[in-house]
Amino acid sequence: MSNTFILNGKETPLKPDQMILEAARNGGIEIPTLCYLKGATPTGACRICLVEVKGARSLMAACSTPVSQGMEVFTDSTLVHQARKLNVELLLSSGKHNCMTCEANGNCRLQDLAYFYKITTPRFEESEQKYPTEDENPFIVRDFSRCILCGRCVQACNELVVNRAISLGYRGSESKVVTGGDGPYNDSECVFCGQCVEVCPVGALTEKKAKGLGRPWETQKIRTTCPYCGVGCQQLLHVKDGKIIKVTAVEDAQPNQGRLCVKGRFAYDFIYSEERLKTPLIREKNGEFREASWDEALDLVATKFKEIIKKDGPDAIAGVSCARSINEDSYQMQKLFRAVIGTNNIDHCART
């Protein structure tokens, strides 16, 4: 007997240990999710992925229910849509989801679901704002009034990047994503990799530096390799009017699989620094620097190298390549030193 289940009346293959969500997606059926985070343990927190399973006493969360041989699943029934819509309405009433000024407008799963279910006026009363917004750090704004407690940030911090800086704290209507001791990010174990921001499906966690700089539909997304170290993490530059306003990771791309470190995500300001050297400088005999052409500077370095080698041998020269070099440039640097200059005095400044 082949491994199949019945998905919306159609025989569909399944793999061992698969959840309904994954098996359905493989079968070409999309089920909406909010809390589901690929690569992390499913929590079943949001109940947006509810499906009908024949014989089950209640609707099941597709993200956390294993699929089994012969199971009959319905993802598109009236009951399913009524339940999903109700859950979206409850989430909308859980905080201040006013999209007009939200940084996530245009990139918000809750907004998409509200649109899909044509929810113009929330059926339930909006909850009081319990916790003030926290933006005491240079990178991340935590707006608790927009948090739907899906737990994706916690899963990402604990299971994807394994920093374990945040968890779900308090109980019931007091629930909140907390750091150890419930202090601000600044006083916590947080290393500001920003993975929590990356996975937040609403506007509860946003990049501080990108605030007010552009909407998602106004930016061009340019894929590139992070310039910081030789790992080669894949990132997306969000560019508006020729200027980077935000950096995110490329989902599912190797080698970083949707993750970035604090430098890759937030430290792109140097590109626009007025102090950035764009022309070679040559130090004069009086100690002052003067601008020079690349030809002049390179000729001078080559001449000096030759003089040193002639006088003291190649081991009198050492090279340190830049931590921001790509692997190919670092390879060429060591080739230059070993094969051309003739020394093994070559290193890579990886610790910045």
Q: Binding residues for ligand FES, per CB under 6 A?
A: 33-36, 44-49, 61, 63
Question: Does residue 159 contact residue 43 with C-beta atoms inside 8 Å?
Answer: no
Instruction: Please identify, using beta-carbon distances, which residue of 36 and 268 lies nearer to ligand FES.
Output: 36
Compare residues 43 and 234 and give the one whose CB is closer to ligand FES: 43
Q: What is the CA radius of gyration of the chain?
A: 27
**Cα separation of 83 and 78, whole Å?**
9
What is the Cα–Cα distance from 29 to 21, expressed in whole angstroms? Answer: 9
Query: Measured from the CB of residue 199, what is the shortest distance to ligand FES in angstroms?
Result: 13
SS3 state of residue 143 = coil
- Considering the complex, what minimum distance in angstroms separates the CB of residue 19 from ligand FES? 9
Rounded to an integer, what distance in angstroms lies between the CA atom of residue 265 and that of residue 236? Answer: 9
Q: What is the DSSP string of 27-96?
A: TT-----SS--TTS-----S--SEEEETT-SS-EETTTSB--TT-EEESS-HHHHHHHHHHHHHHHTTS-
Taking the complex as a whole, the smallest distance from the CB of residue 105 to ligand FES amounts, in Å, to: 22
Closer residue to ligand FES (CB): 61 or 237: 61
> Closer CB to ligand FES, residue 48 or residue 229?
48
Q: Nearest distance from residue 36's CB to ligand FES, in Å? A: 4
CB nearer to ligand FES: pick between 88 and 229: 88
CB-nearer residue toward ligand FES: 46 or 199: 46
Give the residue with the Cβ less far from ligand FES, 27 or 151.
151
Specify which residues 201 forms β-bridges with. none
In the complex, least distance from residue 349 CB atom to ligand FES, rounded to whole angstroms = 44
Q: Is the peptide bond before 122 cis (omega within 30 degrees of 0)?
A: no
CB of 83 to ligand FES, least distance (A): 11
Structure tokens at 316: 């009198």
**Shortest Cβ 64–ligand FES spacing (Å):** 6
The encoded tokens of residue 77 equal 């029934």
What tokens does 197 get? 């921001």
Reference 50, options 85, 92, 94, 18; nearest CA is: 85
